[in-house]
């Protein structure tokens, strides 16, 4: 059965997020002055949005007219495959740890280092490490994520100071004197080092090819899988080596200064994956499980004339024509059940409005339980969970991007395990994680609406649902 839901939008703006780490000092083996935090296994529960900012339930504002084109319940959609969608890989546990640093969950050490060496703060959505002294190595609180074979990813930004620095990741830390370092500098230098009984040894190092490592912003991926250690920067593999000194241990973030101090690095989007599941899921070929180009009415979607909007199927598109402000509508196909999916569609903002809402629904269980992923031409992006009729915000920002066009946009949303990503015109504009993994499977759908603007028209075409083969 298909259902269409209407809901009044309450603008739930949250603090914008990037991220910055907090690190522990190496040269001096004393413990950091900040209070230690719980291990990664005690990730706090996502709290619901306060009631004064939450969206009201759909029952509060029902449509005043019944839709005029409701299909008979015994007519199946012509393009719907079997509800049994085989899943060869389960990505639910692929994300072992995730922090965007938009909220300080008090799991990281923050504060001043002894002797004025540096400090760590979580602010403005970043975890920021500041080294005032030269020739110092510090690292963050480290975490036991439940697996020793890992793929770690983090975004780094040089806020200030010399490009002759080092920033990156730690794995297999058993104590202050035994661990691996996988790091880069903004001058293009990279290295994989190890500490064994407080003796440091470089396993591999060098300068990356010109243009691979940015002097400002970088995406770093480090892999510690069995004896294999590898370092990838901005999707380019720069170093790989084998070593068996440390078979297990904790993970964290790290920063180092050389001849000059006063270096500041921000960290964001720290993600740790299980290496085996990462390979199985994130590099698997995909299968087109469902598609609709809206050229004919296959009774997949509700249409009709309502008080708040008109929905029609015309000119090869599904069209949402808003009559009032601050309303969003979604339609989910709930007789299809998926777990890990990639959703694609084209969204056209017909009247070149600014206050638009468009996006996807995934893991739709019923009217009050599902995930919601949206973007707008005002650059507001949301990833929310509706849980038992209450909104839980996973991501809500007005993002700084030129990727969202005023007219036509190609959107792609992934719902994989606990991780949710949104790409617009092939540019990643949002990442979010639900540590509680509220819903593991369910239906899929689309959403459209308007904020503070009348006569918004959203036309949707080429909706696709892809699953992993």
3-state secondary structure of 352: coil
Asked if residue 23 belongs to a domain, the reply is: no
- The candidate with the shortest Cα–Cα distance to 273, out of 308, 225, 321, is 225
Q: Over 90: is that where the pLDDT of 30 sits? A: no
Q: Residue 78, exposed/middle/buried by CB under 10 A (0-12, 13-18, 19+)?
A: exposed
Does one domain contain both 220 and 340?
Answer: no
| Domain end among 233, 255, 275 | 275
Asked if residue 455 belongs to a domain, the reply is: yes
Does one domain contain both 215 and 349?
Answer: no
3-state secondary structure of 254: strand
Does one domain contain both 242 and 178?
Answer: yes
For 225-246, what is each residue's pLDDT tens digit?
999 999 999 989 999 999 999 9
Q: Which H helix or E strand runs over 199?
A: strand 199-207
pLDDT of 453 reads: 93
pLDDT of 285 reads: 58
For the chain, state the CA radius of gyration.
24
The answer to whether the Cα torsion of 56, 124, 145, 231 is positive or negative is: positive
pLDDT tier, 88 (very low <50, low <70, confident <90, very high otherwise): very low
Q: How far is CA 90 from the centre of its chain?
A: 18
Does one domain contain both 217 and 312?
Answer: no
Highest mean pLDDT among 11-25, 107-121, 320-334, 348-362: 348-362
C-alpha 339/C-alpha 440 separation (Å) is 6
Q: Over 50: is that where the pLDDT of 40 sits? A: no
Q: Which H helix or E strand runs over 281?
A: helix 275-282
Asked if 21 and 141 count as a contact pair (C-beta separation under 8 A), the reply is no
Does one domain contain both 128 and 241?
Answer: yes
Q: How many other CB atoms are found less than 10 A from the CB of residue 43?
A: 18
Report how many domains make up the chain: 2
Across the chain, mean pLDDT equals 79
Which of 145-149, 276-280, 311-315, 435-439 shows the lowest mean pLDDT across its residues? 276-280
Which of 182-196, 280-294, 303-317, 363-377 shows the lowest mean pLDDT across its residues? 280-294
Does one domain contain both 336 and 463?
Answer: yes
Asked if residue 305 belongs to a domain, the reply is: yes
For 193-222, what is each residue's pLDDT tens digit?
999 999 999 999 999 999 999 999 999 999
C-alpha 377/C-alpha 356 separation (Å) is 6
Strand arrangement, sheet containing 390-398: 2-8, 327-338, 442-450, 356-366, 369-375, 380-387, 390-398
Region of 93 on the Ramachandran plot (φ > 0 left; ψ -120 to 50 alpha; else beta): alpha
Asked if residue 46 belongs to a domain, the reply is: no
Determine the average pLDDT of the residues in 56-71: 29
Cross-strand partners of 139: 24, 254
Does one domain contain both 329 and 434?
Answer: yes
Q: In sequence order, what are the residues at sequence separation of 6 or more whose Cβ sits closer than 8 angstroms to the Cβ of residue 66?
A: 304
For 373-424, what is each residue's pLDDT tens digit?
999 999 999 999 999 999 999 999 999 999 999 999 999 999 988 889 999 9
Determine the average pLDDT of the residues in 280-293: 74
Greater confidence, 129 or 145? 129
Does one domain contain both 129 and 219?
Answer: yes
219: tokens are: 């995406």
Cross-strand partners of 427: 424
Asked if residue 43 belongs to a domain, the reply is: no
Q: How many other CB atoms are found less than 10 A from the CB of residue 34?
A: 17
Q: Which H helix or E strand runs over 279?
A: helix 275-282
Determine the average pLDDT of the residues in 435-443: 91
How do beta strands 126-131 and 189-196 pair? Answer: unpaired
pLDDT of 284 reads: 52
Determine the average pLDDT of the residues in 114-120: 86
Find the CATH number of the domain harbouring 255: 2.60.120.560
Determine the average pLDDT of the residues in 18-30: 32
> 């008090």: which residue's tokens?
106
| Domain end among 221, 248, 275 | 275
Q: Over 60: is that where the pLDDT of 87 sits? A: no
Does one domain contain both 416 and 405?
Answer: yes
Does one domain contain both 263 and 297?
Answer: no
Does one domain contain both 176 and 307?
Answer: no
Highest mean pLDDT among 106-115, 133-142, 195-204, 269-278: 195-204
Q: Name the DSSP class of 414.
A: E
Q: How far is CA 371 from CA 5, 287, 379, in A?
A: 14, 22, 20
Asked if residue 41 belongs to a domain, the reply is: no
Asked if residue 334 belongs to a domain, the reply is: yes
Determine the average pLDDT of the residues in 326-346: 90
Does one domain contain both 253 and 329?
Answer: no
302: tokens are: 């509700």
| Domain end among 275, 305, 339 | 275
385: tokens are: 């969970």
Asked if residue 415 belongs to a domain, the reply is: yes
Highest mean pLDDT among 65-79, 141-155, 367-381: 367-381
For 6-22, what is each residue's pLDDT tens digit?
444 433 333 222 222 32
Asked if 8 and 326 count as a contact pair (C-beta separation under 8 A), the reply is yes
For residue 216, the enclosing domain spans: 95-275
Q: Over 80: is that where the pLDDT of 94 sits? A: no
pLDDT tier, 469 (very low <50, low <70, confident <90, very high otherwise): low
Q: How far is CA 125 from CA 16, 18, 293, 413, in A?
A: 6, 4, 39, 22
How many H-runs (helices) and E-runs (strands) does the chain carry? Answer: 1, 32
Q: Over 80: is that where the pLDDT of 85 sits? A: no
């Amino acid at each position: 059965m298909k259902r269409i839901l209407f809901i009044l939008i309450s603008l739930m703006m949250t603090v914008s997020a990037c991220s910055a780490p907090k690190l522990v000092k190496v040269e001096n083996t004393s413990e950091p002055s900040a209070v230690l935090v719980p291990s990664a296994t005690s990730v706090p529960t996502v709290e619901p949005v306060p009631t004064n900012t939450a969206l009201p339930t759909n029952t509060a504002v029902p449509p005043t007219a019944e839709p005029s084109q409701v299909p008979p319940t015994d007519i199946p959609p012509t393009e719907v495959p079997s509800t049994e969608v085989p899943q060869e890989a389960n990505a639910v546990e692929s994300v072992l740890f995730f922090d965007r640093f938009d909220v300080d969950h008090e799991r990281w050490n923050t504060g001043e280092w002894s002797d004025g060496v540096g400090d760590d703060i979580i602010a403005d959505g970043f975890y920021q490490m500041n080294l005032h002294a030269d020739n110092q190595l510090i690292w963050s609180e480290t975490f036991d994520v439940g697996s020793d074979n890992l793929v770690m990813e983090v975004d780094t930004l040089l806020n200030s100071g010399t490009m002759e620095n080092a920033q990156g990741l730690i794995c297999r830390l058993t104590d202050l004197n035994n661990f691996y370092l996988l790091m880069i500098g903004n001058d293009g230098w990279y290295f994989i080092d190890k500490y064994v009984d407080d003796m440091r040894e470089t396993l591999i190092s060098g300068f990356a090819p010109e243009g691979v490592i940015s002097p400002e912003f970088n995406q770093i991926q480090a892999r510690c899988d069995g004896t294999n250690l590898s370092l990838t920067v901005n999707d380019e593999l720069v170093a790989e080596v084998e070593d068996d000194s440390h078979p297990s241990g904790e993970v964290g973030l790290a920063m180092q200064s050389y001849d000059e101090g006063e270096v500041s690095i921000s960290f964001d989007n720290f993600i740790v994956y299980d290496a085996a599941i990462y390979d199985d899921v994130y590099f698997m070929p995909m299968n087109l499980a469902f598609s609709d180009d809206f050229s004919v009415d296959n009774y997949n979607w509700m249409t009709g004339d309502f008080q708040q909007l008109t929905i029609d199927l015309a000119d090869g598109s599904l069209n949402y024509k808003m009559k009032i402000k601050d309303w969003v509508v979604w339609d989910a196909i709930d007789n299809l059940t998926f777990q890990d999916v990639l959703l694609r569609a084209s969204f056209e903002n017909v009247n070149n409005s600014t206050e638009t809402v468009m996006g996807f629904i995934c893991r739709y269980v019923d009217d009050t339980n599902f995930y919601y992923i949206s973007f707008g031409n005002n650059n507001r992006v949301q990833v929310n969970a509706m849980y038992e009729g209450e909104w839980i915000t996973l991501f809500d920002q007005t993002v700084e991007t030129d990727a969202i066009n005023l007219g036509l946009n190609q959107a792609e949303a992934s719902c994989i395990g606990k991780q949710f990503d949104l790409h617009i015109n092939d540019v990643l504009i949002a990442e979010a994680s639900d540590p509680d993994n509220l819903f593991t499977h369910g239906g899929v759908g689309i959403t459209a609406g308007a904020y503070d603007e009348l006569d918004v028209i959203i036309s949707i075409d080429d909706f696709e649902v892809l699953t992993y083969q």
